[in-house]
Amino acid sequence: MISFATLSVNDRIGDNSKLAKLSKLIDWSRLGKYIGKVHKNDINPSNGGRESYDKLPMFKLILLGQWNSLSDAELEYCIRIRLDFISFCGFDINDDVPDETTICRFRNKLIHQGLIDGLFNEVNKQLEELNLKVKKADMAIVDATIIESNARPYSNKTIEEIPKDRKEIEFKENEEKTTNNDDISCKEELSADVDAAWLKKGNKSYFGYKSFATVDEEGFISKTMTVPANESETNKLENMIVDAKSFSGDKAYDSKNNRRILRSKGIKTRILYKKLKNKPMTNWQKKFNKAVSSGRFRVEQSFGTVKRIFKFRKASYFTTKKVQAQFTMKAMCLNLLKAVNKIELVPPKLLQTG
């Protein structure tokens, strides 16, 4: 039962804040079939003896942590003192709230049980039902961005050469030919983040990951993937394809195989052509690249929002699996923010009432 104090809190917050709009926008109960897979004894309060926290408020709390880029300790503090956090999550103001250990345990269970993708897809499905996100894009756009590791890197001096962006495959082939397995340094001994890797882009070297996103023409993210930074983009396109009329990728995805895959799915190919060695580009290819490039700013805008507003230039966790989960949560935050900003254009009858 909701206390009078909580009703007063909800009344004071009102309906105009982004969290208040977000609370009404999504039918959160539909996310229960994914969150319900987390066993109750996995989210018991860390001090023991008390009843487990409800899973839906816990997920909302995790989402707020990613929305506001908070550590678990900061998130625990906010859920104790911030009225908007308490109201959004559905806690009563008189309730005990989860501590940072319980928050961390619940997030890890979501990740280890592979539930984040299902939650992300459900949110996108609801946004499509509300006509806030298109179900089938006229043009889907794929790209990748570098996310730096939060761990101390192993020194780039311990390897003879760092792979350059867009030349990762060439580097791997040369490395396999010239490297003696007995001389390979053990990354596990050199960095706490065993999956992170070095990549050189321009004149700067990065230690971390590549996060891929497929966006629609409005910049909503439909699909995500994360790999170590030194892996090539060329062979990742097939994993990023979504239902769309056409599909765009930059020159990193220019290969006969990628074009064949898209044609086999009945999707128009809008991949930029790259200049081949000793073979100049045709005038048609130059004009094609110029025409397609004009629409690719959407994916760059999406990455910019994820990094600037949601502060995801650097990962908070170690390993590919956890960085991918965090990126997917940030993508969920981006899509929800874009949807909230469009609410005023949507008839009120389309919005959820609870």
What would the pLDDT profile of 279-333 be if each residue is shown by its tens digit? 889 999 999 999 999 888 999 999 999 999 999 999 999 999 999 999 999 999 9
Interacting residues of 349 by C-beta distance below 8 A, sequence separation 6+:
none
Please state the rounded mean pLDDT for residues 40-44: 53
> Would you place residue 145 in the very low, low, confident or very high pLDDT band (cuts 50, 70, 90)?
very high
Angle, helix 100-112 to helix 116-129, in steps of 10 degrees: 80
Please state the rounded mean pLDDT for residues 216-238: 96
What CA–CA distance (Å, rounded) separates 264 from 258?
10
Please state the rounded mean pLDDT for residues 31-43: 75
What CA–CA distance (Å, rounded) separates 270 from 249?
7
Angle, CA of 255, 325 and 125, to the nearest 5° = 80
> Would you place residue 171 in the very low, low, confident or very high pLDDT band (cuts 50, 70, 90)?
low
Please state the rounded mean pLDDT for residues 127-150: 96
Please state the rounded mean pLDDT for residues 93-106: 92
> Would you place residue 186 in the very low, low, confident or very high pLDDT band (cuts 50, 70, 90)?
very low
What CA–CA distance (Å, rounded) separates 326 from 317?
8
What CA–CA distance (Å, rounded) separates 105 from 46?
9
* The pLDDT of residue 40 is above 80: no
Q: What is the DSSP string of 104-144?
A: HHHHHHHHHTT-HHHHHHHHHHHHHHTTSS-SSEEEEEEEE
Q: Which of 34-38, 99-103, 182-186 has the highest mean pLDDT?
A: 99-103
Tell me which of 131 and 4 has the higher pLDDT: 131
* The pLDDT of residue 209 is above 70: yes
Do the beta carbons of residue 129 and residue 294 sit within 8 Å?
no
Nearest Cα neighbor of 254 from 229, 288, 278, 226 is 288
pTM: 0.86
79-93, 147-161, 308-322, 324-338: least confidently modelled range: 147-161
pLDDT the model gives residue 203: 86
* Helices assigned H by DSSP within the chain: 4-13, 18-25, 32-35, 55-67, 72-81, 83-89, 100-112, 116-129, 168-178, 256-264, 283-293, 297-308, 320-342
> Would you place residue 5 in the very low, low, confident or very high pLDDT band (cuts 50, 70, 90)?
low
Interacting residues of 289 by C-beta distance below 8 A, sequence separation 6+:
272, 273, 281
Do the beta carbons of residue 271 and residue 294 sit within 8 Å?
no
Q: In Å, what is the CA distance from 174 to each residue of 156, 170, 227, 270?
A: 18, 6, 21, 31
